[in-house]
Chains A and B, each alone.
Chain A
């Protein structure tokens, strides 16, 4: 386990077991669209597919935009964390890492939701209060998560001694890092919702009942129009976020990313629920895969504090509206005993 101090010491340490993770994360976060960048670099091909969970259309859209042929869906958060670990481990799947989000301090421990491939033995800690950390992962510290993981993407609760979390320094403030995670969550949900909408439109045109396509029914026509509109709002917002990252305007990008996460979480869940409904019985089957799409959208909605926290952040971005103190406090990384000195990155683990 690492005893590496924070950012200032990074360059001078020679025996840093997590140096590769740091480098990979820094590289990843430096890209305008981390998800597309991963696809372009072939990470989607390289990542393993635990439990067949990544077979449906999670990030197919984003991947296609990046010019990759990959059709395999991945959960964006575990993807970025896993990619960092892959870089560290020379593409050895055993070295996969997960990401710990919704982190809060509980005594000497940090509790959060681990979102990772089953094989992960390291965790990247996303701190809502700011900054990222890394820690080794002990299976004994994991538990079943009450909410997530019904699509078999591995989401579990984790408790990690705060003293073991090592602050990960970067050039960006923690809020910006968190904005990037929100961006990834949104991207995954939007890709899932767009794919579900496209296949639903196809189905409405081809499935026959009462001697004609079910898409001739006005009630279903109105529903599919609204599915398109929810996707359009979220997609346009996500693209604005991507543009802002690309332009180096992190502040604007962070605001746009939270808007995208809010719209993609709400709109994605609504859209995919309706995709299931409009497919009828076949929509309810495991085989069609809309259940996995639904949970991709549920993750975008639920993680990082959920719908309410995202809405409060978006509200606070409008001049005049107070910052969302209560929810942020609940998630804030409180000082914990046992923290090491020297973790000087703002918002990181410090005494």
Chain B
């Protein structure tokens, strides 16, 4: 198919399947009620059924081998229509690429169809109370027992863990001081005995992420993804799939820019100072889009996409809040609420996926060759 054909197909689909009520415009967010959750999950499944969520997958797993440009076009259509990220975002963008790269034939056959259909909701189980930026220090233990493992300890900041059917778990199988050499990746069902999930209310007022407790949770050998003690490489591959993830996020910025342009068009010359600010952020968003679409970041600046996206996102969110406050009669209340929420949520992106400060450290040392401090 061509980019245009994918665009038409996505437009036809979204016309038939308007975004679920209550869904915010950006981020991995939690439906506010059981009714909303059902509507949102059904919308997600329909998106998968139409083949639009996994268009880039190989035909073998039910995909259509869509190119990055074609996937961007699908995402662009959905974002413009105000669609949320599907509940399966973590599964599609973080987990599935790793299963395809590192999973056994049996694991792929067991896990990929559920992701393809939109039934499986995954949560990433990486961070711990004592291991945030220093991920290699993590302490949740997967102790060998028989031919399997027993997991004990606590994870935190696990988006969608309270909704998830599956967990993508990084745990310590080596000695306590083995750092990144003693970690193993596991794919686990979330309904195993001994797993307790507690939602955490964020400063947005919503509970999108959780803490997860493991108390003697037994895993079989088939839960290991890749090699035992080889989990670090698997997790880096996950984080390294940045281009598509950042590309999707940038498309969210692009549609926010378009929405804001629409509003600026309704306002008179009182809005001109805001147009100046808007012009600056529009130029930055266009530049970031051009970088992503032009083949991505140069190797020495790898990781910068998340920094640039998340900081631009704040500038744009602030402008939305300021416009809503300055023009209460002209800015529809729904838009104002949406921007307030979007702005509040922006504060999470500079922290998640590697805090921007850590990413700057990594670029300075690995990319630019500066010494460790």
Contacts and interface: CB of A to CB of B under 8 A. Distances in A.
A237 B269 CA distance: 29
A221 interface: yes
Interface string A220-254: 01101110110011101100100000000000000
Nearest to B289: A236
A205 B275 contact: no
A232 B370 contact: no
B275 A312 contact: yes
B221 to A, nearest CB: 42
Contacts of A307: 276
A12 interface: no
A311 B272 CA distance: 11
A204 B370 contact: yes
Contacts of A312: 272, 275-276, 279
B257 interface: yes
Contacts of B264: 315, 320-322
Nearest to B298: A232
A322 B373 CA distance: 49
Nearest to B266: A320
Contacts of B298: 232
Nearest to B362: A225
B365 interface: yes
A212 B371 contact: yes
Contact of A225 (B288, B290, B368): B368
B354 to A, nearest CB: 13
Contacts of B361: 218, 221-222
A222 B287 contact: no
B233 interface: no
A314 interface: yes
Contacts of B294: 236, 240
Contact of B258 (A215, A262, A318): A318
A319 interface: yes
Contacts of B371: 205, 212-213, 215-216
B307 A229 contact: yes
Contacts of A215: 364, 370-371
Contacts of B291: 232-233, 236
Name, among A201, A228, A326, the residue most crowded by chain B CB atoms within 10 Å (CB to CB): A228
Given A205-B369, A218-B373, A320-B264, A315 B276 contact: yes
A104 interface: no
Contacts of A102: none
A262 B370 contact: no
Contacts of B269: 325-326
A314 B272 contact: no
Given A233-B291, A237-B287, A315-B282, A222 B272 contact: no
Given A216-B373, A312-B276, A224 B364 contact: yes
- Judged by DSSP, the binding face of B is helix
A259 B357 contact: no
A321 B257 CA distance: 11
Interface of chain A, helix or strand or loop or mixed? helix
Given A213-B371, A237-B286, A326-B272, A229 B308 contact: yes
B368 A224 contact: yes
A233 B364 contact: no
Chain A interface size, under 10 / 10 to 19 / 20 to 34 / 35 or more = 35 or more
Contact of B360 (A201, A221, A314): A221
Q: Which of A212, A213, A232, A326 is most buried by chain B, counting CB atoms within 10 A of its CB?
A: A232
Nearest to A226: B360
Contacts of B360: 221-222, 225-226
Nearest to A201: B368
A308 interface: yes
Interface in A176-204: 201, 204
A315 B290 contact: no
Nearest to B259: A320
B232 interface: no
A299 B268 CA distance: 31
A238 B365 CA distance: 28
A313 interface: yes
A266 interface: yes
A30 to B, nearest CB: 25
B40 interface: no
Contacts of A39: none
Nearest to A255: B286
A317 B285 CA distance: 13
Interface string A295-320: 00000000000011011111111111
Interface of B: 257-258, 261-262, 264-265, 269, 272, 275-280, 282-284, 286-288, 290-291, 294, 297-298, 300-301, 304, 307-308, 357, 360-361, 363-365, 368-373
Given A215-B370, A232-B298, 11 more contacts: A201-B370, A225-B368, A229-B301, A229-B304, A233-B288, A236-B287, A240-B294, A312-B272, A315-B276, A322-B265, A324-B272
20 contacts: A205-B369, A215-B370, A225-B368, A228-B368, A232-B291, A232-B297, A233-B288, A233-B291, A234-B287, A236-B287, A307-B276, A311-B275, A311-B276, A311-B279, A312-B279, A315-B276, A316-B279, A318-B258, A319-B258, A326-B272
